[in-house]
Amino acid sequence: MSKEIINSSKAPAPIGPYNQAVKAGNLLFVSGQIAIDPSNGELVLDSIEAETTMVLKNIEAILSEAGTHFSNVLKSTIFISDMNNFATINEIYGRFFTEPFPARETVEVSKLPKGVNVEISVIALV
């Protein structure tokens, strides 16, 4: 099985040795996204709501570039720096996904890249 690299100009460029997403067969593996505004490269850290929304918009741009959307997401992983933000993140997340929802785990971690509060990765059908 071959792999295809997916990169969208509407999502932030990777900040390390990885790609935004890799397509293998009919599966798309989207790298963890943080709240970098692709229009200016700046972090969006005004609020946990704004940060989570930016993360999900970045994922949406990558899914779109690959020809898919949130309804085809099979699994997501949410990394957060403070579990006290879970309810807010979950509420914003719910605006982007509809039933049937994907499988998911949410994990509190001690630190995330660039000091952000939330990072999300997904696996989707294409």
Tens of pLDDT, residues 38-91 = 999 999 999 999 999 999 999 999 999 999 999 999 999 999 999 999 999 999
Give the other-Cβ count within 10 Å of 52's Cβ: 26
pTM for this entry: 0.97
In whole numbers, what is the pLDDT of the chain averaged over residues? 97
Tens of pLDDT, residues 11-24 = 999 989 999 999 99
DSSP letters, 55-99, are HHHHHHHHHHHTT--GGGEEEEEEEES-GGGHHHHHHHHHHH--S
Angle at 107 between CA 105 and CA 110, to 5 degrees: 165
Tens of pLDDT, residues 79-102 = 999 999 999 999 999 999 999 999
Residue 1 predicted with pLDDT over 90: no
The strand pairing partners of 116, in sequence order, are none
Phi and psi dihedrals of 34, rounded to 5? Answer: -120, 175
Q: What's the confidence (pLDDT) of residue 48?
A: 98
- Please state which architecture CATH assigns to domain 3-125: 2-Layer Sandwich (3.30)
